[in-house]
Structure 1
């Protein structure tokens, strides 16, 4: 089995298998975002929908244009030239429209809006493309093309942010970087791409070569970042080194990461992190109380990332589409994860620390290379995963590498987790679950539907380091999945990524059996 480390049609057809009518032709699920096309090879998404029509000029509405001047009045007919000039003059309730064009400028926001007056909004002008281009701009430490520090009530929307790059170890470019504390911050309908750190890694390769598309760091121990919304963005074509395309790290409490498309990057897609010392106080150093919903993540792989070893390809296959590393109390639902190294990972990289209280349900996870869902520490000296629920997901023909990690890869230090009512279909390896560790207790599996085309006797499970060929043998000797079935789920057309269920699909009833010791 491979070690996992981080620095390691539109209708999904996901279904709760208990109490459903076998005659129904209607999938009991929610559709993926309209932008999520079923074609496996798709690599781009449509431009975000335009925002509402601009309001007439008034005291708190201003404009920036490439041919403007900061000595102007900031009106639509007399626009300013620089984003920073607008940010410096903005008051609560200010809306700044950025006209179409290319701006070789950074934007730093350190004062925002208010609950009563409303947010400060920086928005691309409707039906025009405002591009913030970082080509040739310096990167100093962790720095964003757009940066929000210690501010509340700020919205960034409808911008294209691109070409912010460095070849320097220790400098970290980000498309959008939010840090400190604050509340009610929104990142909406932006397109962020071509952000890169191309430095040559030294030593083991994992230190100092980093970049982000969107980075949120709650760095204040006494006050959390709260009320964060990241919705409708496309984030892609990133050279990340040991970092992540979209990350929420540290003292961040209450967030929504919804309807984003994250793709074609050389490390983790969406990452929710705890216990890295970001907030300075481990009691609050966790991304927590959040929702990750309706996202599409694909083309995420560390195989061509020299931070994971040279030469490339390096066969690391360690990057997850969605990774919860030390996060707590998070709902992950209705996401579509495919063509990644790992579809979804729930783990902790820090000894004695747990990712916990995660609910993963109604996700479609298919054609990922290493495994569909990985849980637990990647060795006994790491943390683990506890008190989490994996329910009503469809896992289809992951483990494309054929290394035996299966559809579910259960690692070290797992306790109190429930895996139930999932559709789990293995590919050529036939491996459903791989669990090569014995440091796991009080986990419950039941009411799942298993299938592989080669038949029940050719299906394969590994439980606490022991191999179980055949479904009946696995059920009898482990006590797991006594209420589960082995049957063809009868997808409409899985070859075309249509995972709706045909009439007469099998139904698994009953509740999961008692916890396995």
Structure 2
């Protein structure tokens, strides 16, 4: 009886404690939001946009603006605009900046609502190619928008969901939903999100997190791309899927910026992303070739690719350069699950001797499982041309093909190192092993396997 009373008292105490905690949390949340809704009247730092508003209004919650562009033209460092749910058919150009001292300029969905930036009836013209275009801006947050349906069949036009260009720093893209951005021409280009480092002023402190990017028709381009003079970024916890070309691309040496700059994406992290069902197999530019990687480091350097789940793409992770004499270098690809891709799970080096290559990259502690689904001879790992001093350490490999599990194209290259990799071959592909399912759960339960 004593034991039961102790347990009963303990359970009562825990219950009361949890009730108090829940009450305090809900009260705090209510007060915090009340402060936000009242702040516009207090210090003019909180503004609102609504379909029922007018750009001649003051931008308060009771007299909101009508367009997001009005907010973009009006906000100052430290200001926030909450955009109410509804559809906004406009190109938005953001050129005002926040600052380190006074704070970010923030564009956010009103809590519990989804503002939709709709491109279906918009016409792409010179200067208007992206639904959101951030140009030489600093300290900007873009959070909670649905961005969709911008398309063209003109190969000379370049639709993009979110474009950041001409320098910029401390840019955060959070919780956005980007889909159905399309270039339908046979030689076209499109992007879901593009950071284009085309200035001598480097881009830095970029955060791209919790975005959903899907059903893009990309031509020769990619779903989420960083290219050019970019130094310092994180790409994390995004879902990138069902696109007809590469999922994530961090690139260099494509003449993004021509003078007084380092044309190479560098010093970043790509982690905890789910990248799947990206294939160029039905992309007319590729004429049936399955060439789209889930994650592609193309001429970039000093980047961690870790704790990602990459499956059902053409390739899993690709470390290479398409430009002769250039290298993807010092990439750490670790703790990823790379599963069921059409070609190699991990492929490095140039596709031919006339391409660039891969130098001093480290591939470690990954699980590669049942890749080369199209049986084209890639195996689980393919080392192509111009690949030197790369290391493959402690990877676990499951394959249904007992031959060519590790494929090396250049018989004269002997500087690449393979140590302590575990290989398991099967006659038929079994269901996912416990090791794989546990790894996936660890990744998406935010348990860092460093």
TM, length-normalised to structure 1: 0.75
Within-5 A mapping of 1:300-339: 300-309=278-287, 314=288, 316-339=289-312
Q: Which one of the candidate residues 296, 312, 327 is aligned to 2:274?
A: 296
Matched, 1:189 2:162: no
Shift in alpha-carbon separation, 1:393–1:271, aligned structure 2, 3 A: same
List 4+ stretches of structure 1 deviating above 6 A.
none
Aligned to 2:89: 104
CA contact (8 A) 2:204 2:231 kept: yes
Choose 132-141 or 385-394, whichever is displaced more: 132-141
TM, length-normalised to structure 2: 0.86
Aligned to 1:220: 199
Q: CA deviation at 1:348?
A: 0.2
CA contact (8 A) 2:109 2:143 kept: yes
Q: CA deviation at 1:441?
A: 4.0
Q: CA deviation at 1:281?
A: 4.0
Q: Which one of the candidate residues 492, 495, 498 is aligned to 2:434?
A: 492
Q: CA deviation at 1:135?
A: 0.8
**What is the distance in 1 between the residues matched to 2:356 and 2:260?**
14
Deviations 1:33-86 (A, max 9, x none): xxxxxxxxxxxxxxxxxxx84713331110000110011110111100011111
Within-5 A mapping of 1:271-290: 271-281=249-259, 284-290=262-268
**What is the distance in 1 between the residues matched to 2:311 and 2:401?**
17
Other structure's SS at 2:325 match: coil
Other structure's SS at 2:246 match: coil
Aligned to 1:262: 240
Matched, 1:412 2:394: no
**What is the distance in 1 between the residues matched to 2:199 and 2:376?**
42
Q: CA deviation at 1:162?
A: 0.4
For structure 1, list consecutive stretches of 5 or more residues without a partner in the other structure.
Answer: 1-51, 202-206, 456-487, 502-517
Shift in alpha-carbon separation, 1:426–1:283, aligned structure 2, 3 A: farther
Shift in alpha-carbon separation, 1:123–1:439, aligned structure 2, 3 A: farther
Q: CA deviation at 1:492?
A: 1.8
Deviations 1:232-270 (A, max 9, x none): 000001000100000000000000000000000000000
**What is the distance in 1 between the residues matched to 2:357 and 2:410?**
12
Other structure's SS at 2:69 match: helix
Other structure's SS at 1:321 match: strand
Aligned to 1:210: 189
Count of residue pairs brought into register by the alignment: 403
Other structure's SS at 1:184 match: strand
Deviations 1:413-471 (A, max 9, x none): 1111110000011124643111122353421111110110249xxxxxxxxxxxxxxxx
CA contact (8 A) 1:400 1:427 kept: no
**What is the distance in 2 between the residues matched to 1:282 and 1:346?**
26
Other structure's SS at 1:84 match: helix
Q: Which one of the candidate residues 324, 333, 357 is aligned to 1:384?
A: 357
Within-5 A mapping of 1:421-500: 421-428=394-401, 430-438=403-411, 440-454=413-427, 491-492=433-434
Deviations 1:261-304 (A, max 9, x none): 00000000000000000011486000100000000000100001
Other structure's SS at 1:57 match: helix
For structure 2, list consecutive stretches of 5 or more residues without a partner in the other structure.
Answer: 1-31, 442-450
Aligned to 2:446: none
Q: Which one of the candidate residues 156, 165, 169 is aligned to 1:170?
A: 156
Q: CA deviation at 1:143?
A: 2.0
Aligned to 2:9: none
**What is the distance in 1 between the residues matched to 2:166 and 2:286?**
30
More helix as a share of residues: 2
Other structure's SS at 2:345 match: strand
